[in-house]
Amino acid sequence: EDKVVQSPLSLVVHEGDTVTLNCSYEVTNFRSLLWYKQEKKAPTFLFMLTSSGIEKKSGRLSSILDKKELFSILNITATQTGDSAVYLCAGARGAQKLVFGQGTRLTINP
Amino acid sequence: NAGVTQTPKFRVLKTGQSMTLLCAQDMNHEYMYWYRQDPGMGLRLIHYSVGEGTTAKGEVPDGYNVSRLKKQNFLLGLESAAPSQTSVYFCASSYSMGHIDSGANVLTFGAGSRLTVL
């Protein structure tokens, strides 16, 4: 059975800290790994990773995929209170089959 | 540009009642999806559609039906609601596999519909 496991499930840090969120996956016919940020409502897309070892960056956020070890990390540097959210990781096997992890709830305290 | 719009945003039902959740997207996406989100369980796929007039079962389809009569709309129906269907429901859409952006896996989500079944 396909599964995606995120850790930690919850994380509380101070503003300015750097955080690393983890995502391990076992997905049949794996195609890509996606990260989403969910604040109050709709998850919003952050990154899609298809190749190992190639870092994707967007401002203070970056992510990388290791297809040999079947995991991905999401890094956030110089965290701000606006980074507080649930971060979702999903493994894609084909176009219609995204398998989501449980999410990591990140809280940034001022 | 509204993106993906879900109605209603909130609904309370009694066990056995029926209802329909409506999802509309204005991005000309081929694929549409219905997910449910429960605490500690992430997002689980209920049903999806790869085009107008087509639907398919996802991971947790029991107790739900769907229809995609128009490309821009995807309806999720509960014929006889049960307390186990209390959840937050998200609709999403994406381009097809052949799209130039290869964005079939990049979903755009609606704001969610919170359903409580008593």
Q: Does A65 touch chain B (CB under 8 A)?
A: no
Residues of A within 8 A of B48 (CB-CB) are 96
**Chain B contact for A105, CB < 8 A?**
no
Do residues B63 and B78 lie in contact, with contact meaning Cβ atoms separated by under 8 Å? yes
What are the tens digits of pLDDT across the range A21-48? Answer: 999 999 988 888 999 999 988 999 999 9
Tokens 């790869």 sit at which residue? B50
**A-chain residues within 8 Å CB-CB of B42?**
4, 88, 100-103
CB contact under 8 A, A43 and B44: no
The arithmetic mean of pLDDT across residues B2-7, rounded, is 92
Instruction: Tell which residue, A32, A29, A28, A57, has the closest CA to residue B103.
Output: A32
Q: What's the pLDDT score for residue B87?
A: 97
DSSP designation for B72:
T
pLDDT at B14: 96
DSSP 8-state code for residue A2? -
Q: Answer yes or no: is pLDDT of A54 > 60.
A: yes
Residue B100 confidence (pLDDT): 45
Tell me which chain A residues have a C-beta less than 8 angstroms from the C-beta of B106: 34, 45, 48
pLDDT digits (tens, 9 = 90+) for A60-84: 999 999 999 999 999 999 999 999 9
| Whole-angstrom distance, CA of residue A33 vs CA of residue A48 | 6
Owner of token pair 């269907």? B85
Residue A104, classified by CB atoms within 10 Å of its CB into exposed (0-12), middle (13-18) or buried (19+), is buried
Backbone angles phi, psi at A78, to 5 degrees: 45, 55
Q: Which residue of B has its CA nearest to A41?
A: B111
State the smallest CA–CA distance between residue A94 and chain B in angstroms. Answer: 8
- Residue B1: pLDDT over 70: no
